[in-house]
Structures are given as C-alpha cells and as structure tokens.
Amino acid sequence: MSSPLCEYTVAGREVRIVATDRSDGDMHPERVPSEELAARQRNATGRRWVMIDEVHGTDVVEVTNDHAGLDVAGIGDVVVTNSVDLDVAVWTADCAPIFLVADDGTTVGAHGGWKGLADGVVDVAVDAARRDGGRVVAAVLGPVIGPCCYEFGHDDLAAVAGGVHARPAAIAGTTVDGSTALDVPAAVRSALHYHGIVLDVVGPCTGCDDRWFSHRVRTDLGRHATVASIGRDPQ
C-alpha cells in the first residue's frame, strides 16, 4: 500500500490522500493495459480508482460509484465527487496534482499543468468544491516539479501569474543553474490564497527525486498518481 500524504475526517467519511511512485508502476490510463492498471491500483490503495483523460484544460467531470471499474470516466482536468467508498485519482509526471476536501464531503482533484494554471484550473476546482455550499477544509498538492528543475520563459510566467492571481515575481524561482523558473507550488498556493484557502501539504519535487516520474527532467513516459481514497468513518 502507498503511504498517505495526509488523512482527513469530514462529513462521516475518511479521506486518505496518497501518492504512488515509480515502484508502484506506470499509472498512465492510455499506455497500461486495463487489467494491469487495475492490479497496480489495487496494490496501491486496495481498490480501483476513477481517473479522467487529462488534456491540460479546465473542464469538470462529475464521478460517482457508477464509474468504478472504468479506466477513465471522461475528458477533463477537474474530477469531483460526493460519493463514499470511491477512489479518485490525478495522474501526473511533473504537473500539479491538487486535491481539495470540503466540509460537506465533496472531494475534488485537479490536474494543473502550466497551461491549466494559466487558464484558471484552480479557480474551477475551488468552485467545484464549494458547489453545494461547503467550505474547503483541506488542500493538498502531491508530488510536483519544483522551481529548482523548471526553467520557464518570462511571457509564459506572466500568463501563469494572471491565472493564479499573482504578480509574476511572486511565482518566479531560480533553477539550480541560475535560470528563471516557474515555482508551481507558489502558483498553486497563490491561487488558493485568493479564495481564502491555505495549502496544507506540498509533495516532493519530481525532478530532484527519481522515486517519481519526470517528463521534463528525465523524459519519462510513465505517470504516477495522487489518489483520494474516500471511505466511511468507522465511528
């Protein structure tokens, strides 16, 4: 079983957020045969997950227990559920896997590549988490590339800044070789701060730590996953 990044109890359910790594195998839903993918998911969290076909956009996919057993439930970059006894996952290899948990039990996962961040994917995720009037009580960022490894152009940096309600300087960093970088955790933190939400957990850098896949640093084809495992509160 994968180690949890964090655990929360809300609205009669336990939400356990975990991150798989390279040792768990590739979790790319389009590259891994369905039966092997299902086996890897069960080994990681004990049951199959619901994932979506991520396309670096902002579309929302609603999932329920009826989607359990599907490799993908739809096309989009934000997955939202209010179901119990369900695992929902975001697959990445440098991009930001963001999870929000609301006090009414609504759980949202978002895939934040730089284009999605520039287009406001965090705003969309927050709106999805609050759609039924709930208050976001937890925000988690899984393994993600850090500024140390993510050289970035000034024009694209300005575009991301606009999408996360920040000045470019606030989300800029420096790579290990001294180049201008995008600080993805800072960008996510800024977008959440705009909505009054604190980022509770930030995962490790996928570029520095080769336990995780990195498309940018190591040209890996594989994908790990950050998973919200939603169960009933035994109490």
In angstroms, rounded to a whole number, what is the distance separating the alpha carbons of residues 155 and 161?
10
Q: 4-232, which class in CATH?
A: alpha beta
How confident is the model at residue 197, as a pLDDT? 98
CB–CB of 79/108 below 8 Å? yes
How confident is the model at residue 150, as a pLDDT? 98
Residue ranges in the chain whose pLDDT is less than 70: 3, 235
Query: So where are the chain's domains?
Result: 4-232
The model's pTM: 0.97
142-181: pLDDT as tens digits: 999 999 999 999 999 999 999 999 999 999 999 999 999 9
How confident is the model at residue 46, as a pLDDT? 95
How confident is the model at residue 121, as a pLDDT? 98
How confident is the model at residue 51, as a pLDDT? 98
34-54: pLDDT as tens digits: 999 999 999 999 999 999 999
